[in-house]
Structure 1
Amino acid sequence: MSRFARGVVLAVASLGLVPAVCPGVALPAGAMARAAERAPVEGTWEGAIELPGIKLGISVRLTEKDGVLSGTISIPDQGAKDLPLDKASRDGDVVTFAIKGVPGDPTFRGTLMPGGATLSGEFTQGGAVFPFTLRRDSATNDAAALEGFEGWVDGAMKAWGVPGMAVVIVKGERVVLSRGFGSRDVEGGKPVTDQTLFAIGSSSKAFTCAVLSSLVDEGLLRWDEPVRTWMPDFSLSDDEVARRLTPVDLVTHRSGMPRHDLMWYNSPYPRSELVRRMRYLPLNKGVRESFQYNNLMYAASGELIARVTGRTWEDETRARVFEPLGMTRANFGVVDSQRDPDHALPYREDEGSTVRMNFRDISNVGPAGSINASAADMARWAMLQVSSGEVGGRRVLSADALRSMHTPRMHVEAYPDMGKSGSVMLGYGLGWFIESYRGHVLVHHGGNIDGFSAMVAFLPREGWGIVVLSNLNGTPLPGLVVRHAADRVLGLERRDWSGEGLAEREAAKALQKDSEAKKESVRKSGTSPAHPMEAYAGDYEHPGYGTARIELKDGRLHITLNNITMGMEHWHYEVFNTLKNPGEAVLGDHKVQFITGMDGEVEALRTQTDPLVELTVFTRRPDAELSDPAFLERLAGDYQLGPQRVTVLVKGEGLAVSVPGQPSYDLVAKRHRTFELKGLSGFSVVFTVEGSGKASGLRFLQPNGVFDAARVE
């Protein structure tokens, strides 16, 4: 202690006083106060006092409890260690402390600079004044900030019933935490590690935007040119929208198309066919008019990548992102993950119990959400986001491209409830949501797919990246873990995010239970279907959504769409209600209305496929025999209708009928050997066929009567 005093006094005696050095550019008082509020002073600070001709190294550890500041100081060059501080205080951005029991009242008075990483000002002793600068010791402070974090995660997982979780936290290119929690396989008792593969769901979208950004950097693509520049066959239900849509519109959810997720979910169609069928899906907004989250547009982005490069989205993502970053375990589908010995199994919560789910292959919309990765893989991805596009000395994206991805491109309508969440949504960038979180820029994107929930987030200005992967369906816990971790590393007052979330969940459950109890109140009692159950059975088609199959099994109707089958109960009149299937996330409690035609036959069904557009109509598919060329030949021929001879002939893949003095009419196949006359509403013909021979006659059904005609040999 006395040795430190003598060293400083000798320096002053021999060289005289040194003018105080200005600690930095002054900010307005209000701005400095706000910066100080955001920047904690707790932690270890390393630096030096600038004495004449030398820099005297010091290490200061500050702690703050109940508003009282205390700490210690060490001066390695003088053999002083952990000397107690005295008169430590903080007034906004100004921090003051002295060394207890040392002659000359050695005192530090410094300013905490914006960002909270530097404390600089004046050191005084015995009337002498010297500048000093202290900077946070990142490793020590980071460890202190996360002290108790792992225990908090364990407790939160238990409270939320989450089987397994992997968490990685990085600071710049340094991994601060990377570990697994809980079980990847509950039944097998297998633990999660930072190498365990999880589905990351929609957190995949930013990878797609990274590939597109690299193509833009290379001049192979332009964000604001029409998509049709590279995909001339790209079509939507509104051709003007399709003509104007650009790549940046595809990935910022501003195409004018609502989600239409039932079109792709569990669909058997490949990505190219999904994109082709988008032309049959109704839009509800104009282009760039409103933010509407849309996975199909990311599927289209994947096809765009393929058209531009001649290689698949998977190949380009692997070559442009995975390989340069060293993401050696990442893949593009749950089928691949299941071949890996260290993969997480998917689970869901059911009345307080954890139940296994089936893996869901969504590779047809892979660019929107099919990537699987480990926490160790995602650490590299997070480093990229906070390191200007370069990791380990290897440039993956240009700094401009990365900055562009993190810049809001589309307004997202969200009420800025600062009291509840401390957040203000700033908008959606290229594969990322951007918000102001308690005064800090937070960039993030979650991901949810059957049995898995994820959150990828980072604080670009502070250089922190946080990734949370879990194997429970639809749990909000990854997002809550991110916010809890952010509060810690930013030194903010910690909120009970888990407790608040649990309270909200219980309130939502109570509301859902109450609403389910009331659903019968809107059901019309005492009604019956208009047809026998077997009359509804058949295939119903929509050019975008595909085939909805209605089958009668054990006296109950069942509906199958995209290989997902649900039982149905009669609701009222011609409306049926699908029964919930715990293993499926869609189609439960879904109303299906059957439509009867003028001929008394069930001709269509309609149901809600997206709440933002009108009900979708699926038209009943004609009987299979009515498209069989051999059967159509049996119907062709001449028929005598009173004094006129009517001719039925095979035309292409269908039939046409010719009546003297009238134009020829194409016949549109229906059911029960019935065809409608195309272009004539209310006119149809029914063929009489017995056994395996030719039709013996036909009957014209018209608004003014029924007319029979016999075959003429």
Structure 2
Amino acid sequence: EGMICSHAGNVKAVISKTRDARRPLRIVRRWILIFQMTPAILLAASAQVAPSQHTQGVADDLEQFVPAQMQKWKVPGVAIAVVQNGQVIYTHGFGLRDVKSNLPVTTKTIFAIGSISKSFTSLSMGMLNDEGKLDWDKPVRQYLPEFQMNDPVASERMTPRDLISHRLGLAGHDLIWYSSDFSREDMVRRLRFLQSDHDFRSGYRYNNLLVMTAGYLVGRVSGQSWEDFVRHRVFEPLQMNSSNFSVLDSQKSSDFSHPYRKDEHSGAVSEIPFHVMSAIGPAGSINSNVEDMARYAIFQLGKGKLGDRQLVSEANLSLNHTPQIPMPDGSRPQEIGPRSYAMGWVVSSYRGHPLWWHNGGIDGFYALLTLLPDQEFGLVILTNILDDNPVAEIVGYHMYDHLLGLDSIDWAKRFAELGEKQKAAEEQERKNELAEHKANTHPSHELKDYAGGYENPGYGVITIQPEGNGFSATLNKLSFALHHYEYDIFESPPDSTGAVDLGKLRFLTGMNGKIDSIAAPFEPDAPEIIFTRVPENPSPEQKK
């Protein structure tokens, strides 16, 4: 959503901003003469203005406003593209893509776009529907016979439309993909082990694993991988030549941004590692720059055509932007209309004007793609920091006011006030937790008795090793420390990237008096995840 900021639970900034279309886990669209231009002509539009009474002064406005917001919110680098009436009216890079080497952001700098990738998956599904290969409302099992959820009703009745629209109400379980190198096929198999506190089609709930399944379905139906389908059917015709599906490919480019985080206490900005997330790709792995995303925005604002070629039917492109499920209102400002989730897009309004958007956040990157379809206006904002970073929204709303000819609202002030309220609420929550904490308690066993492997068929294996007064632990490829909290409860501090906060794990004792399992509240919309001790020398039957 954002993952933007989110209901992702304990997998804090990264997953939460992937999760909630930021709360806004954020958006743009149209297509005409752009693709008849050479790239050089197209991108020379950097400071050019298209024929609209309100587009005058866009460059001067942004080149004063954006750096001020970057400085205020400590964002190292930002790239922006503005499109209107089928033209790119502005592109620009601000700040640094590599702070250590003092390298600037350009319009060619590649950033992760996170959950904006979902709209590429829904577009692909629409193309397959046009070909008669995929029915939006037939059971998923018609295409994936092995498909199985924990809920037998969901297993039988879930449709491709359900997979892409977050309307199922089922728990997201994001830590599975974030902590592991499980293949796409393996994660689809693991869905059957994932419980939820909510019933099938009970309402909006962001779910990356089901969008990943939609991409897996695209691959199965098309006879090629999701990546190959998107590359050949979307990237190539739209000349999105710099876009890719892995941060490993981004780093082979001569112009890519590094990811950064901001310390929540000191505000210091530091570089963090790239996070490879190939398997969850259809929900969030695409990387791009504002030149490519401007092309995509213009296409989305059109009727599915590239020149005389119909890439997707007008009906299916329109369906991608058609509400499927209302989203919770939360504390939205009065200028923002009620939100609904469509198919890879959020549908709302800004000061009475229809608005389509999606955002995306993952390990050190935050992106926003927004479209005002009635004005054929689109905005792409790519940034290289995730934490405490409302710059994309502030700039976006500021630009809407400018281009719609409306009195400007001080969104920077509003976001600052909101941030202070959130910090105060978090501080109060910490105080409440400290007040409830039972000091001077001890584990029930010696630390060595907790050591070993514990497995959950959905999540994988947690391995525990004593270290000092606590443990070092791993969940699949994710390493973390565990410190004693109270009794047999151990707590994991936030990791050094600020991305993951696993919270508290509870060790459980079996009837024989030995530690035999772990209860982990990894998913707020599901029962505790139970990891059962793996025997040191399992029998053949246990191995099976």
Q: Shorter-normalised TM-score: what interval?
A: 0.7 to 0.9
**Aligned partners of 1:237 and 1:282 also within 8 Å:** yes
Which amino acid in structure 2 is aligned with residue 443 of structure 1?
A: W
Q: In the TM superposition, what is the alpha-carbon distance from 1:197 to its structure 2 partner?
A: 0.2
Per-residue deviation, 1:393: 4.4
Q: 1:214 aligns with which of 127, 152, 157?
A: 127
Q: Deviations along 1:610-662, whole A, 9 cap, x unmatched? A: 11111111000001x333xxxxxxxxxxxxxxxxxxxxxxxxx24xxxxxxxx
How far, CA to CA, are the matches of 1:309 and 1:602 in structure 2?
Answer: 48
Distance in 2 of aligned mates of 1:145 and 1:187: 31
Asked if structure 1 preserves the Cα contact closer than 8 Å seen for 2:469 and 2:483, the reply is no
Could you tell me how far 1:372 is from its partner in structure 2?
A: 0.1
Q: Select the residue among 506, 522, 536 that pairs with 2:420.
A: 506
Deviation at 1:332, TM superposition (A): 0.2
Query: Does residue 485 of structure 2 align to residue 574 of structure 1?
Result: no
Residue 329, structure 1, aligned to residue 242, structure 2: yes
Distance 1:246 1:604 in 2: 36
SS of 1:325 mapped into structure 2: coil
Q: What whole-Å deviation, never above 9, does each CA across 1:297-331 have from its counterpart, x for those lacking one?
A: 01101110111011000000011110111100000
* Equivalent-residue separation in structure 2 for 1:465 and 1:402 (angstroms): 16
Q: Which has the larger radius of gyration?
A: 1
- Secondary structure of 1:568's counterpart equals strand
Equivalent position to 1:242, from 150, 155, 160: 155
Q: 2:401 corresponds to which residue?
A: 487
What is the identity, as a one-letter code, of the residue corresponding to 1:501?
F
2:55 is paired with a residue whose SS is helix
Q: Structure 1, residues 596-618: CA drift from partner, whole Å, max 9, x if none?
A: 11111111011101111111110
Identity of aligned residues (%): 38
Q: 1:215, CA displacement in angstroms?
A: 0.5
Specify which of 260, 276, 292 is matched with residue 377 of structure 1.
Answer: 292
1:275 corresponds to 2:188 = yes
Shift of 1:146: 5.4
User: How far apart, in 1, do the equivalents of 2:307 and 2:410 lie?
Assistant: 36
- What secondary structure is seen at the aligned counterpart in 1 of 2:124? helix
Q: 1:154 to 1:391 in 2, by over 3 A?
A: farther
The Cα of 1:398 is off from its aligned counterpart by: 1.8
1:529 matched to 2:439? The reply is no
**How far 1:440 sits from its partner (Å)?**
0.3
Higher alpha-carbon deviation: 451-460 or 506-515: 506-515
Please name the residue that 1:607 is paired with.
520
**Distance across 2 between alignment mates of 1:363 and 1:234:** 21
Residue equivalent to 1:347: 260
Question: What is the match of residue 329 of structure 2?
Answer: 414
In the alignment, the residues of structure 1 paired with residue 58 and residue 257 of structure 2 have an alpha-carbon distance, to the nearest angstrom, of 29
Amino acid at match of 1:567: A
| Structure 1 counterpart of 2:452, from 538, 556, 563 | 538
Distance 1:612 1:532 in 2: 33
Asked whether 1:586 is paired with 2:507, we answer no
Distance 1:426 1:282 in 2: 27
One-letter identity of the residue aligned with 1:338: Q
Give the Cα separation in 2 of the matches to 1:195 and 1:258. Answer: 37
- C-alpha displacement at 1:545, in angstroms? 0.3
Say yes or no: does 1:435 pair with 2:435: no
Report the TM-score, using the length of structure 2 for normalisation: 0.87
1:151 and 2:59 matched: no
- Counterpart-to-counterpart distance in 1, 2:432 and 2:252: 46
Q: Deviations over 1:11-49 (max 9, x none)?
A: xxxxxxxxxxxxxxxxxxxxxxxxxxxxxxxxxxxxxxx
In the TM superposition, residue 168 of structure 1 has moved relative to its aligned partner by 0.3
- Which of residues 534, 538, 541 in structure 2 aligns to 1:626? 538
State the match for 1:166 in structure 2. 79
Q: CA deviation at 1:571?
A: 1.3
Q: How many residues align?
A: 492
Amino acid at match of 1:267: S
Residues 478 and 323 of structure 1: is their aligned pair in 2 closer, same or farther, counting only changes over 3 Å? same
Structure 1 unpaired stretches of 5+: 1-135, 628-652, 655-667, 670-713
Gaps of 5+ in 2: 1-48
Alignment partners' CA distance in 2, 1:346 and 1:437: 30
Tell whether the 8 Å contact from 1:466 to 1:482 is kept in structure 2 after alignment. Answer: yes
Distance, in Å, in 2 between the alignment partners of 1:429 and 1:391 is: 23
**Match among 96, 103, 114 for residue 190 of structure 1:** 103
Name whichever structure is richer in helix by fraction. 2
The 8 Å contact of residues 197 and 527 in structure 2, kept in 1 or not, is answered as no
Residue of structure 1 equivalent to 2:227? 314
The 8 Å contact of residues 196 and 527 in structure 2, kept in 1 or not, is answered as no
Letter of the 1:380 partner, please give it: R
* Residue 359 in structure 1 maps to residue 274 in structure 2: yes
Counterparts of 1:555 and 1:511 in 2: how far apart (Å)? 31
Deviation at 1:502, TM superposition (A): 1.8
Q: Which moved more, 1:456-465 or 1:511-520?
A: 511-520
Residue 657 (structure 1) aligns with: none
SS, match of residue 371 in structure 2: strand
CA positional deviation for 1:263 = 1.3
CA deviation digits over 1:388-408, x for unaligned, max 9?
222444432221111111111
| Aligned residue number for residue 15 of structure 1 | none
Equivalent residue in structure 2 for 1:368, among 263, 266, 283: 283
Amino acid at match of 1:385: Q
What residue is the counterpart of 2:479 in the other structure?
565
Whether the aligned pair in 1 keeps the contact of 2:470 and 2:484 (CA below 8 Å) is: no
Q: What CA distance in whole angstroms lies between the structure 2 residues aligned with 1:575 and 1:428?
A: 38
- Partners of 1:425 and 1:342 lie apart in 2 by 39
1:321/1:281 CA distance change after superposition, 3 Å? same
SS in structure 2 opposite 1:364? coil
Alpha carbons of 1:369 and 1:176: their partners in 2 closer, same or farther (altered >3 Å)?
Answer: same
CA distance in 1 between counterparts of 2:309 and 2:62 reads 32
- Pairwise CA distance, 1:137: 7.7
Give the structure 1 partner of residue 386 of structure 2. Answer: 473
Q: Contact conserved, 2:473 with 2:479, CA < 8 A, in 1?
A: yes
State the alpha-carbon separation in 2 of the partners of residues 613 and 407 from structure 1.
29
Deviations 1:419-477 (A, max 9, x none): x3401124111100000210100000000100000100101111001010000023222
CA distance in 1 between partners of 2:384 and 2:183 (Å): 26
Task: Select between 424-433 and 228-237 the one with higher mean Cα deviation.
Answer: 424-433
**TM-score, with structure 1 as normaliser:** 0.67
> 2:153, 2:200 within 8 Å by CA — same for their partners in 1?
no
Tell me if the contact between 2:180 and 2:478 (Cα under 8 Å) persists in the aligned partners: no
Relative distance call for 1:393 and 1:421 in structure 2 (3 A) is farther
Structure 1 residue 163: Cα displacement: 0.3
Matched with 2:304 is 389
Alpha-carbon separation, structure 2, partners of 1:539 and 1:584: 26
Tell me if 1:291 matches 2:204.
yes
Match of 1:551 in 2: 465
Distance 1:329 1:234 in 2: 34
Task: Find the residue that maps to 1:234 and give its secondary structure.
Answer: coil
Query: Structure 2: how far apart are the matches of 1:392 and 1:479?
Result: 32
8 Å contact from structure 1 (residues 200, 370) kept in 2: yes
Q: Assess, with a 3 A threshold, how the Cα gap between structure 1 residues 518 and 541 changes in structure 2: closer, same or farther.
A: same
Of residues 507-516 and 484-493 in structure 1, the stretch that sits farther from structure 2 once superposed is 507-516
| In 1: Cα distance, 2:510 partner to 2:498 partner | 33
- Do structure 1's residue 226 and structure 2's residue 135 form an aligned pair? no
Deviations 1:193-238 (A, max 9, x none): 1100000000110000000000001111110111111101100011
Instruction: Give the residue type in structure 2 aligned to 1:223.
Output: W
